[in-house]
Amino acid sequence: MYPKKKKRRRKLKRYNVFVLVLTLILIFLIGINTTIIAMYDVLPYKYLLLYLVFVIGVPLILIQFMVRKRVRWHTKIISISFVIVFIVLLGFLLYYLYNTFSFLDAFSNYSYVTHNYKVLVPSNSEYQELNDINNKNLGYITLVNMDYSKAIKELNKKVKVNSKDYLDYTTLVEALNLKQIETVLLTDSYYDILKEEYDDFETNYRVIFEFSIREKTNNLAKEIDVTKDTFNIFISGMDTAGVISSISRSDVNILITVNPKTNQILMLHIPRDYYVTFHGLKDRDKLTHSGLYGTEMTIKTIEDMLDIDINYYFKVNFDTVVQVVDALGGVDVYSKYSFKAVDHGYYFKQGYNRVNGQKALDFVRTRKVLPGGDIARGENQLAMLQAIVKKASSPAILMKYTQLLDSLKAGFLTNMSTDKIMDIIKMQIDKMPSWNFTSINLTGYGSEDYTSVFPDRKVYVMEPLQESIDNAKNAIKEVMDDKKLENSYTESDGNVNIPTVVKPTTPKKEETTTDKNKDKEETKKDEDEKETDKKDDSTSSNKDENADKNTDTSTNQDTNKNPDDNTSQDENLKDDQTKDEQKTDKDTNQDTENNDDNTLQDNGLVPTN
């Protein structure tokens, strides 16, 4: 009996150690999760109460079942199983919480910007690297409120250069040609603009050195209670690669007005080429160029134009769209038009389309084949934003939560504090509101004019229509006044198109009624010509016979008579041919126009009715 009791005691001891380890792990996970939740105040009160009951109360009861001696073994085993399940769930919760708050701390409270620079020389220059331009003359373009002094100072730490400033690109090039300077200093953003405006720019110049400077920036946030008061968010999108904090053009400009009381979201798209007056400056320029001076200039310029306060901003890279949509498992986006995207040839139908990351990028970047050009592209960008927000605020996001956070880390920043973001998340969890999305566009007409970036030449700009600006102001005011606007996006009826690549084909031309009539007319004309030729041959034969039988006088008479007859026949024949050709050309033009219209509709270049 003694060996059995000893064995039983050893088992009981091992069991007690096992229970102690499980208990300590459970208490540790409960403690750390509760501390994080309390610290960031992430749960609404009703869910916090459920958390305390479920995550703290239930495990304590299970621990009692595990340690009490009078509890049956099968009850202990069941209790242990539930404790293990709780440990696994609390581990996942800790993982989610850690990813969430490390992500928020990484991109919020953003307080610096990155200025990127390039040093260039002419393509035929003998200079190959930075040391080659030591003690040489360096030129740069002076823009209002743009300071190159820090960049030149940083460059002089590596080599000694004699810097000279120029008013515009033309005078800078003239100085290079006259050998007044040997090298040029440009910001990355201005370099990209010159590449677009001058086709031979990359051919004529070569980059020999690149460097960056980081500096602190002002916090532009205008704090507000985001759970009770209406607020404005500016979204700036950059269509370039590189660090998201880099100074760059603002290729996408969207203003979002959010009313948390009415669950109304107003999305306003402002075209990148909108011809506006920059804040604090006299000259007008494209809105996209305001990004050269920093996000602060873009925000203040829009505030001046719309007479509003912008509370927060978000800056994203176009590559972020690909990563976010893929992390969400794709989204259903509404298209106002049927069209074929230029980059990869995806065909989008009017209505809802299910897209992955790459298709989403093509959807928001396509412009030239859309009716309305940049205005229509802006509508697509707003539709994509609505699709992403809708999917991200749905319960389906729970299964893809960490993938979504990972996709945002590299290409997403904001000046909205972590506390404000958590307030919005908590409100969404608490009320689970169904948001009403309304989208509008600022409009204008194409023109050419001088800009502050290009003061020496006219470039394409969009001249604003004051009526559209006034309409946008009124819409924002209505949202501020707690009015609900018309929803711009109807619910999907389940008939969702999956865009596929459409390869260009040369359609076979079908024989139309016009073609058949044209063939009949050509056949009839050929028969008439043959009959005319027979008559001419018959006349010629008669002339020859009369010439043999009659005298020279009668021959002369015949000869003098027949040319007039022949000339009359020729003129009549030419008139008939001209009429036939005009009729044929008219039919052919009509048929061509019909075929062109059909081709445009087939390729999706016109909106469907």
Helix axes 357-365, 374-392, angle to 10 degrees: 150
Look at 561 and 26; give whichever has higher pLDDT.
26
What does 377-434 look like in DSSP terms, one character per residue? HHHHHHHHHHHHHHHHTSGGGGGGHHHHHHHHHSSEEESS-HHHHHHHHHHHHHH---
Nearest partner of 489 among 353, 351, 389, judged by Cα: 351
Please list, in sequence order, all residues whose beta carbon lies within 8 angstroms of the beta carbon of residue 92, skipping any fewer than 6 positions away: none
What's the alpha-carbon Rg for the chain, to the nearest Å? 38
Please list, in sequence order, all residues whose beta carbon lies within 8 angstroms of the beta carbon of residue 357, skipping any fewer than 6 positions away: 321, 322, 323, 324, 325, 326
Q: What is the mean pLDDT of residues 177-204?
A: 89
Q: Would you say residue 219 has pLDDT above 90? A: no
Q: Would you say residue 523 has pLDDT above 70? A: no
The 10 Å Cβ neighbour count of residue 469 is: 19
Backbone angles phi, psi at 66, to 5 degrees: -75, -35
Q: Would you say residue 545 has pLDDT above 50? A: no
Residue 308: pLDDT band (50, 70, 90) is very high
Residue 331, CA atoms < 13 Å, CB-side half-sphere:
31
Q: Would you say residue 134 has pLDDT above 90? A: yes
Q: What is the mean pLDDT of residues 105-117?
A: 74
pLDDT for 198 equals 86
Tokens standing for 425? 């998340």
What are 240-272's pLDDT values in tens digits? 666 778 888 888 999 999 999 999 999 999 999
What does 104-141 look like in DSSP terms, one character per residue? HHHHSS--EEEEEEEEEEETT-S--SGGGGTTEEEEEE
Cβ–Cβ under 8 Å, residues 19 and 80: yes
What are 138-190's pLDDT values in tens digits? 999 887 667 788 999 999 999 999 999 998 888 888 898 888 999 999 998 88
Which of the given ranges, 29-43, 175-189, 497-511, has the highest pLDDT on average? 175-189
Top-tier CATH class for 231-480: alpha beta
Backbone angles phi, psi at 314, to 5 degrees: -125, 135
Write out the H or E segment, with its range, that includes residue 509: none
Q: Would you say residue 593 has pLDDT above 70? A: no
Give percent above pLDDT 70 in the chain.
78
Nearest partner of 51 among 100, 99, 20, 86, judged by Cα: 86
Residue span(s) of the chain under CATH 3.40.630.190 come to 231-480
pLDDT for 528 equals 55
Amino acid at 536: D
d(CA 412, CA 237): 10
pLDDT for 85 equals 92
Which of the given ranges, 370-374, 405-409, 562-566, has the highest pLDDT on average? 370-374
pLDDT for 595 equals 40
Q: Would you say residue 21 has pLDDT above 50? A: yes
pLDDT for 2 equals 60
Residue 605: pLDDT band (50, 70, 90) is very low
d(CA 498, CA 332): 9
pLDDT for 502 equals 63
- The residue written with tokens 């603009």 in the block is 193
Amino acid at 289: H
pLDDT for 497 equals 78
What are 47-91's pLDDT values in tens digits? 888 888 888 888 888 888 888 878 888 888 999 999 999 999 999
Which of the given ranges, 293-307, 483-497, 550-564, 581-595, has the highest pLDDT on average? 293-307
Write out the H or E segment, with its range, that includes residue 276: strand 275-277
Residue 453, CA atoms < 13 Å, CB-side half-sphere:
27
pLDDT for 607 equals 35
Alpha-carbon dihedral 293, 295, 296, 298, rounded to 10 degrees? 80
**CATH of segment(s) 112-216:** 3.40.190.10
Look at 449 and 216; give whichever has higher pLDDT.
449
- The residue written with tokens 């500016």 in the block is 234
pLDDT for 239 equals 67
Q: Would you say residue 511 has pLDDT above 70? A: no
Pairing of strands 312-317, 331-335: unpaired
Cβ–Cβ under 8 Å, residues 461 and 271: no
Residue span(s) of the chain under CATH 3.40.190.10 come to 112-216
